[in-house]
Amino acid sequence: MEVVALAGNPNSGKTTLFNALTGSNQYVGNWPGVTVERKQGQLKGNHEETIVDLPGIYSLSPYTTEEVVARDFLINQRPHQIIDIIDSTNIERNLYLTLQLMETGVPIILALNMSDLLAKQGRRINQDKLSYLLQVPVCSISALKRSGIDDLKKYLGSDKTKPYAYPKYDNRLESALSEIEDELNGLVPDNDLRWYAIKVFENDEKVVPILQLDAAKQQNIQEIITITEQLFNDEADSIIVNARYDLIAKLVDMCVVDEADFKMSFS
């Protein structure tokens, strides 16, 4: 039995896709200890895959119950794969969650939803380019019109996606993160090193206390963070936020095509 987490921003079409994937094979309950609805269901026609619907979220920060439920599930339960549903008409904002989902190292498939609306707006996303740049599978779908769902299903099964397709940020940030990973080596599962390194760099209020780092490690890590803050002339948490937005800006610039521009340049 393989577990696939369905993640996405509120209103990205997550419920519509969940219903399309599972049909009537659904079970509804609550996440443990909180009054947040937890839905799961078997993939229609394939009883090897269970789809777990995560709460709709914009980020994996530790500030809302929904975000904490989602990140605890991804890190502690480690599903086999994530389907990240993206509202393609609002791709910049949605990719902010995508990058954070990728930071967990769980193999991911991007489902670019609302492709029907995007086409009506005269825009399209070069899914092959996006897939190449992020090194993850990307499918354009319309959950409402039920198009592209069969293509998406082809990627389900953990042998179909690569683990550790982390987004790569600015080189100076990457070297700080890899030095922090060295400090954390052996303290957390190897698969989670990148996630914990980012959380430690951000000084995440939920993760840092759990790690119970000794004084020497705390000092080494603080030195790495201070040097990086000096290099960027910025605070650690905003260095990460800016690194994500810089990457998103490049991705959007390279992959979102406005058909009107295209026609003009050839007319």
Which residues form the interface with ligand BGO (CB under 6 A)? 8, 10-16, 56, 113-114, 116-117, 142-144
Of the two residues 7 and 200, which places its CB atom closer to ligand BGO in the complex?
7
Minimum CB–partner distance for residue 121 and ligand BGO (Å):
11
Strands 37-42 and 49-53, by their bridges, are antiparallel
Of the two residues 89 and 191, which places its CB atom closer to ligand BGO in the complex?
89
Of the two residues 143 and 207, which places its CB atom closer to ligand BGO in the complex?
143
Q: Are the C-beta atoms of 229 and 239 separated by less than 8 Å?
A: yes
Amino acid of residue 16 = T
Minimum CB–partner distance for residue 147 and ligand BGO (Å):
8
The SS3 of residue 104 is: coil
DSSP category for residue 48 = T
Maximum distance among all alpha carbons in the chain? 66
Of the two residues 113 and 228, which places its CB atom closer to ligand BGO in the complex?
113
Minimum CB–partner distance for residue 145 and ligand BGO (Å):
6
Minimum CB–partner distance for residue 8 and ligand BGO (Å):
6
Cα end-to-end span (Å), the chain:
54
Backbone angles phi, psi at 142, to 5 degrees: -130, 105
Minimum CB–partner distance for residue 10 and ligand BGO (Å):
5
Residue nearest to ligand BGO (CB): 13
State the DSSP H helix or E strand holding residue 182, giving kind and residue range, or none if neither.
Answer: helix 171-184
Of the two residues 96 and 232, which places its CB atom closer to ligand BGO in the complex?
96
